[in-house]
Structure 1
Amino acid sequence: MQYREYCNQLKIRLDNLNPRQVLERGYSLSYIDGEIIRDIRQVRRDSEIHTEVKSGSIWSKVSKIKGKKNAQTN
């Protein structure tokens, strides 16, 4: 029984690490050229981006980009 419970806990942890679970919590994932957007430096004005939400997908064209005032860059 302990082994089965341990496996179930591992499955729950793995499920929570799935980026798609973010959508279930009401967030979205945005992509440019098939890559997840992690930094505004990946995007340029007039870029086309693809955003996934729980109920479907949105394609958008970027008209403005604004960074945070004290954003750290890596």
Structure 2
Amino acid sequence: PNQNYRRKAQELILAVWLEARFSKKQILELYLNRVYFGAGAYGIEAASQRYFGKPARELSLGESALLAGLMKGPSR
């Protein structure tokens, strides 16, 4: 919520540091393992088990798309 120049500079430094240290695939993996998917599920594996009763590796394209949509508004 605090969108001033200092905050944006901090975000820029963090983004540069992350991209220097991790690949884009690793950054996405880190994010997906921490994001809230609703119904008490944190991380893609927990969400896969919670909503579909199977490991994330076994999700279909449609199931994966549904979980991706949950990240925007898990309570909806």
TM-score range, shorter chain: under 0.3
The structure carrying a bigger strand percent of its residues is 1
Question: What TM-score, normalized to structure 1?
Answer: 0.23
Question: What TM-score, normalized to structure 2?
Answer: 0.23
